[in-house]
Amino acid sequence: MDKFIAGKTIKKMIKAGKMIKDVQILMLGIIFKEDCPDIRNTWVVDIIAVFDENGTVVDVFDPCVDVAEVKDEYQIDITADPFKAGKKYDAIKGLFSVILTVLIFWHTPAI
């Protein structure tokens, strides 16, 4: 799933004319359980790893997690507030967009 999600995102950025190296990506959320700060078994870190392998710059924003725990467990820094920083992103991914991407892919007839 992680390679599929990251791969679809990277392909869309290439199609849009973006150079993948140093592309800025914002991941909205690292947890996948609603209203629960539990970071165990999150597959979002695998998606981030694939983006990292491709030379992209990934910021992660999740106001529900313990920042120190995420840093200790996954060596990932949580961005305090990416919207106040005024940073521009080439792609924004979140759990909802990941689910939407999968649903569209699975329900789109082959061309």
Q: Evaluate if residue 80 carries a pLDDT over 50.
A: yes
Q: Other C-beta atoms within 10 Å of 89: how many? A: 15
pTM for this predicted structure: 0.74
Dump pLDDT digits (tens) for 9-61. Answer: 888 888 888 888 878 888 888 887 666 778 888 888 888 898 899 888 888 98
Evaluate whether 63 touches 12 at the Cβ level (below 8 Å).
no
